Amino acid sequence: MLSLEVIVPVLMSCALLWWVSRGMSWSIRLIVVAVTLAVIIVLVAVEQAGYWPEQWRR
């Protein structure tokens, strides 16, 4: 079951992307979404690989 720790950031991110991209064309929107997802994937991969600084971990 999804918790609020997942649902709230996802909804906030979607709302922020919609608000920022109101004046953009669809191709630019897709690029922004792709770059955002790439950054998220890289951050998760770095954290899972153990390269994340110890002070930043929970």
Token pair of 23, please?
A: 């004046």
d(CA 46, CA 40): 10
Q: How does pLDDT run across 1-58, given as a tens digit for each residue?
A: 567 777 888 888 888 888 888 888 989 888 888 888 898 888 888 878 888 777 776 6
pLDDT value, residue 13: 84
Q: Is residue 46 within 8 Å of 39, Cβ to Cβ?
A: no
What is the pTM for the complete model shown? 0.62
Q: Is residue 49 within 8 Å of 41, Cβ to Cβ?
A: no
Residue with tokens 């997802």: 37
Q: Is residue 21 within 8 Å of 28, Cβ to Cβ?
A: yes
- Could you give the maximum distance between any two Cα atoms of the chain, in Å? 41
